[in-house]
Amino acid sequence: MRSFFNSKFLLTTTLCAGVAFAMSVLFRDFAAKAAVPVTFLLALVPVALIAGRMASLVAAIVASIIFALYLFEPYGRLAIDSPVDQIELLCFGLSSVGVALLSPRPQALAKKSTQDSSGHAPPYSSLESEDTLKASQQLETWIATVGYAIVLTAIVTLLLYFWNSMRY
């Protein structure tokens, strides 16, 4: 059985927990605290690409618990008083699952970089090395995944904006 808890997994999850805690404590007294979970979505993209989908999902779950404890009132409890904050955390959870599922697996990136769609090794010209092609494919994947995260962030932000405008 493959172990999910390797050093990359533990390091990225711990780092994400620290970033979520720092963001929660620093921004909880400001009006921008509503943007903290949405901004944290962008941190899940590199986690998924570096350590895998499972690490991204675990980091999102840990961040959700930290946001519930330290970002939203009452502090130190998992119960959230404001319905807007509850919906924001729910949207963060759904969006983070989307980011984790839409992100390509690191193993698939390595396999894709050595084969083209027909299953044969791609022909390399004298100007392009295998490392150059691999790096460009990884960059394309990062750009696409960040694009997905930005779209999900925009959708969550719009939903929260409409929710707030309907209440008042």
Q: Is residue 89 part of a domain?
A: yes
Instruction: Report if residue 21 sits inside a domain.
Output: yes
Per residue in 40-73, pLDDT (tens digit) is: 988 888 888 888 888 999 999 999 999 999 999 9
Q: Containing domain of residue 31, as a range? A: 7-116+128-167
Give the C-alpha separation, 141 to 22, whole Å: 29
| Sign for the pseudo-dihedral over CA of 53, 46, 137, 106 | negative
Residue 1 lies in a domain: no
Domain count, the chain: 1
Within a domain: 24: yes
Q: Tell whether 134 is covered by a domain.
A: yes
Distance (Å, whole) CA 37 – CA 44: 11
Full-model pTM: 0.68
Q: What pLDDT tens digit does each residue of the chain (168 aa) get? A: 456 678 889 999 999 999 999 999 999 888 778 888 888 988 888 888 888 888 999 999 999 999 999 999 999 999 999 888 888 888 888 888 888 887 776 655 555 555 555 555 555 444 445 555 566 676 677 677 777 777 777 777 777 777 777 766
Residue 123 lies in a domain: no
Q: Does residue 122 fall inside a structural domain?
A: no
